[in-house]
Structure 1
């Protein structure tokens, strides 16, 4: 059966043609010249890139990614023009994405952009509906949003410097040009600063732009097109507001003032700390990581083997949206940084239908709207071949081709090997204090000064006065490691999981224990893992001697709603005073915003999904610090916000 996730194209006169919109993707005269003329010149980008002040970044927003031509042209200009320490953030929306193969075919026609297009194509896969962060050399960050613009624009919160209004013709794709789109374009712009350009000169588009405060100019169109329009925002109507600021100011995003950042410290060298340090280092920041243990990745992030897998559903929810954005990002990161078969194997993952509930979920996923490289139907014979003829359940299974296993310490060490990162071990941080615009970070034997602090210390989050209100659920997990060669070729998940061999060993498990937090390996939990293994692959479980098993115990740090806790930290006492009305009315409105502690952030609470979500959350923290667009929706940003814990405590205080 044909997968309809990606849009269909035809070729007409060497130009890609959308069968959905009955329109060409770009001018048949010259896509590059058209992009340069309409969008680069009429937004004056060459001069603006060159003149960008120190410590400022530039944001381009686009309605219609299409074949990515505008992105390639902008990225190359940025690489040729911008100064070293600046960031270009390119936020583009695409409702009907091209397939990876179709995009590759198109971009082969522009060899002068090969270097950039290859970096794009390497990351252009697993584009599930939602937000996707793609990084190109020289501080270029593409946030590609696979969604309807009418739905996702209200979920964005940034200030664009320039807009590329580039959907198909208004007569062929009216939705991308309607009034609600333009209203949100204005909301995400700044008066007397933000510019726009578009190839169309439609009267309705022009009137909508003028209605929402844009001054509009006409110019000669490109090629055979008679006219185009461009301009800038000169007046923001007072009716344009961010509703979340009005209704939930305690979750608003405070704008970062542009200022030199000399030093950032990360507390904790597990997957959260390493991911955050890496994302900041990529942006040119100097980062110090303080770890209390003798080495990195010695706590819950130190498993022998881990798998990359999400919580998947056809029903929209916060967990699914975060998993969708995180899966592609982490998958690419692992494939980019790790290479040895001892470090990882891109072997795919089978989800068995080990009970009726999972069988139903598998069938729902197969019927969902997903790209073909995400999930595939797999027949019993294929299950048998991939499991070494051992799997007990083979009917109604599904296969995730991009699933993999990895050695978490290998990934963490690669992340921390960036030259902008310094790691100091045996540094147990006992106190944080903000004095004279610096954070004083005290360890048992030393003290340090830093501009900004990111706390990534998992279960130890409550040890600091500033973060003591953050409640964490500690969950003991024990994996079992067996020394035996198997014929298993892929990760297999049922009630538990089993990995292919790493050398002469393989991993299976894992337990979830909310009561016993002992760090010691127990025979009892080995038996739990053997029982789970027996439900998946009984022949293998039967031939393992429990006395010969090795293992690893980690105490997972999870939030009580099972979403990570990521973002800036507020003064809890002041928060409870300012927003006390929430205890009586959860829908109370406030005429003031939330005050945050200066330059203090957290990235914790990933539970058993750290390899999946922590890397993207590192990007989120980096965007908070640099004041740039986040790779998630506003709804998810609020769902991850540390203040949600304080809000919940107030709302439920009298229950």
Structure 2
């Protein structure tokens, strides 16, 4: 998907009862009241709350978030319904989202002030992304897609039960209501899904009928005489691509192999979907491999064309920032500086402006400001990531695994699937360790033998990394600093810096040469005249990497398939198994989003990542690339 800068909405607050959108010459809601309109038109028009009662999950799609009143009214109705669905997912597309301060003003005096305050608190940076907000301990999820409605209707991976067709009037906002856009609703709607809209214009009803909706005209909320309701009744049900089918939609229990960042985040994400998890690991405690480092960085990235890596890293960084708002993490350091070694400040600022990235995601700082914030004699400009930072991975893992059953000290030597028992984990002596209908393979480099057994063609490698620790250092950075290497204070007057990278190097011992390398990087990073001397101290760990430096998240291709295999989404998968691995050196940055994606693959919940980025991290991508290479 081609991204474009997000242009925030302009709101005219001069008439508080009917807020105006001057760029569209229209009002945000009926003069009868936003919540009355939401209840009459969208909730009643879709048969809610009755239709969600008794359901495990109910998914709503809205074409125009606006002020968020429809979401708040729906959330309030879900809260008030004793027979409500277990989980409510509300997906909303918005081309011009409100700035945080305007959203706060819009909800002053709201009839749902408490819910509005929670929405305002979680309001994300205005970036071209699919933002996942969680409420009610994850039982209510809001997926905000900022950008063009057509583009997002083609990129969303979801099956929806109800549609709120909203937006400014067709004469003022024609793209939202044209036949092509309305036809795209059919690729997301389940058969028998419902639709409701305040709009009863003939061309809109005609376009909905052409898109396989059975449309009715109903009494509207005064002053409107009529509104539209519809039921999706296609003559032919489109089959989802095999690689987009849920891997274990009926499973209620999941085994998670690996108790590092990926495994802990997976267990957390699965519990939020209502599944029971057991985590298995060969060590006696969690986070003993690469996740056992004393600290690690997390932040987004950007590049001039906003390519796949930058888009994925931004989505992951936003997911991590949202997760950290919910968890108490000891040792969390907020804010991160990444030195720019090639561009001057003017080019950095121009790049941010061209991409339309907001200051709560990234800022370009002159060298003197970067030096002031870091407390170091920096000589280069820097990218500042306000929501980035550093933390001890073990603290995050412990928070994510709270209340999760752990089966520690048992190395899984083999995974096998039984039609009757599901996936079974065996040790080296063939003893059954655990079994469940579904399994998440999240063991990092330690799980490489299992991966090689299940998918011998995956091109993965182990990379050795050594970081260094100084018991005392001066000056100490006031916030984490990265560039050619990284450095951060350890909170006890010492410094952590590094790290080296050696492919397929099994050496476990600390090396003086690697320490010298890390200290030289620290000196260059901080602008020190020479590298400090310090006793050999640090930690060695191994990362699992894919050659394209992106993670592996998704199902493994099933053997024996002979159909089209030129796109990852076309390949059928092994049932009940999903990978969440190969996080490399970005475990803290990537784990939250990758785990949410893995959980959605298993359960069939709406994906928190757009289709093009799902293909980018899909384990099947390597088979597809080989196919394309063979055809070229």
- TM, length-normalised to structure 1: 0.89
In 2, are the aligned partners of 1:7 and 1:99 still within 8 Å (CA)? yes
How far, CA to CA, are the matches of 2:173 and 2:377 in structure 1?
52
In 2, are the aligned partners of 1:59 and 1:89 still within 8 Å (CA)? yes
In structure 2, the partner of 1:453 is: 439
In 2, are the aligned partners of 1:159 and 1:189 still within 8 Å (CA)? yes
In structure 1, the partner of 2:577 is: 600
Question: Of 605, 609, 613, which aligns to 1:636?
Answer: 613
Question: Of 533, 544, 564, which aligns to 1:545?
Answer: 533
In structure 2, the partner of 1:555 is: 542
Structure 1 residues 42 and 311, CA, compared in 2 at 3 Å: closer, same or farther?
same
In 1, are the aligned partners of 2:424 and 2:436 still within 8 Å (CA)? yes
In structure 1, the partner of 2:129 is: 130
In structure 1, the partner of 2:470 is: 482
In 2, are the aligned partners of 1:5 and 1:371 still within 8 Å (CA)? no
1:564 equivalent to 2:551? Answer: yes
1:472 equivalent to 2:493? Answer: no
Q: In the TM superposition, what is the alpha-carbon distance from 1:444 to its structure 2 partner?
A: 4.1
1:16 equivalent to 2:19? Answer: yes
More divergent stretch after superposition (306-315 vs 613-622): 306-315
In 2, are the aligned partners of 1:366 and 1:377 still within 8 Å (CA)? no
Structure 1 residues 200 and 63, CA, compared in 2 at 3 Å: closer, same or farther?
same
Q: In the TM superposition, what is the alpha-carbon distance from 1:476 to its structure 2 partner?
A: 1.7
Counterparts of residues 44-443 of structure 1 (less than 5 Å): 44-52=47-55, 56-81=56-81, 86-114=86-114, 116-137=115-136, 139-191=139-191, 193-236=192-235, 245=241, 252-255=243-246, 259=250, 261-340=251-330, 343-346=331-334, 348-356=335-343, 360=347, 363-393=350-380, 396-417=381-402, 419=403, 421-435=404-418, 436-443=420-427
| DSSP-derived class of the 1:119 partner | helix
Q: In the TM superposition, what is the alpha-carbon distance from 1:481 to its structure 2 partner?
A: 1.5
Question: Of 493, 509, 522, which aligns to 2:482?
Answer: 493
How far, CA to CA, are the matches of 2:91 and 2:343 in structure 1?
41
Q: In the TM superposition, what is the alpha-carbon distance from 1:289 to its structure 2 partner?
A: 0.4
In 2, are the aligned partners of 1:157 and 1:629 still within 8 Å (CA)? yes
| DSSP-derived class of the 2:229 partner | strand
Structure 1 residues 516 and 432, CA, compared in 2 at 3 Å: closer, same or farther?
closer
Residue deviations 1:577-625 (CA, integer Å, cap 9, x gap)? x25x86xxx58x9xx9644322011101111111111111111111112
Residue deviations 1:77-97 (CA, integer Å, cap 9, x gap)? 222326587221111111111
In 1, are the aligned partners of 2:417 and 2:424 still within 8 Å (CA)? yes
Structure 1 residues 409 and 378, CA, compared in 2 at 3 Å: closer, same or farther?
same
| DSSP-derived class of the 1:403 partner | strand
| DSSP-derived class of the 2:75 partner | helix
How far, CA to CA, are the matches of 1:541 and 1:33 in structure 2?
69
Residue deviations 1:472-518 (CA, integer Å, cap 9, x gap)? 12222222122225452222222122223422222222222225332
In 1, are the aligned partners of 2:306 and 2:355 still within 8 Å (CA)? no
| DSSP-derived class of the 1:97 partner | coil
How far, CA to CA, are the matches of 2:447 and 2:180 in structure 1?
42
Across the aligned residues of Structure 1 and Structure 2, the Cα RMSD in angstroms comes to: 2.6
Identify unmatched segments of 5+ residues in structure 2.
none
Residue deviations 1:502-546 (CA, integer Å, cap 9, x gap)? 22222222222225332222111111112212222132854x213
Q: In the TM superposition, what is the alpha-carbon distance from 1:359 to its structure 2 partner?
A: 8.2
How far, CA to CA, are the matches of 1:269 and 1:378 in structure 2?
38
Structure 1 residues 359 and 520, CA, compared in 2 at 3 Å: closer, same or farther?
farther
In 1, are the aligned partners of 2:317 and 2:388 still within 8 Å (CA)? no
In 1, are the aligned partners of 2:329 and 2:395 still within 8 Å (CA)? no
Question: Of 459, 463, 473, which aligns to 2:449?
Answer: 463
Q: In the TM superposition, what is the alpha-carbon distance from 1:362 to its structure 2 partner?
A: 6.2
1:32 equivalent to 2:8? Answer: no
| DSSP-derived class of the 1:11 partner | coil
Structure 1 residues 221 and 540, CA, compared in 2 at 3 Å: closer, same or farther?
farther
| DSSP-derived class of the 1:277 partner | helix
How far, CA to CA, are the matches of 1:513 and 1:460 in structure 2?
17
Structure 1 residues 8 and 443, CA, compared in 2 at 3 Å: closer, same or farther?
same
Structure 1 residues 527 and 360, CA, compared in 2 at 3 Å: closer, same or farther?
farther
| DSSP-derived class of the 2:222 partner | coil
| DSSP-derived class of the 1:402 partner | strand
| DSSP-derived class of the 1:125 partner | coil
- TM, length-normalised to structure 2: 0.92
How far, CA to CA, are the matches of 2:29 and 2:469 in structure 1?
55
More divergent stretch after superposition (349-358 vs 481-490): 349-358
| DSSP-derived class of the 1:102 partner | helix
How far, CA to CA, are the matches of 1:362 and 1:424 in structure 2?
50
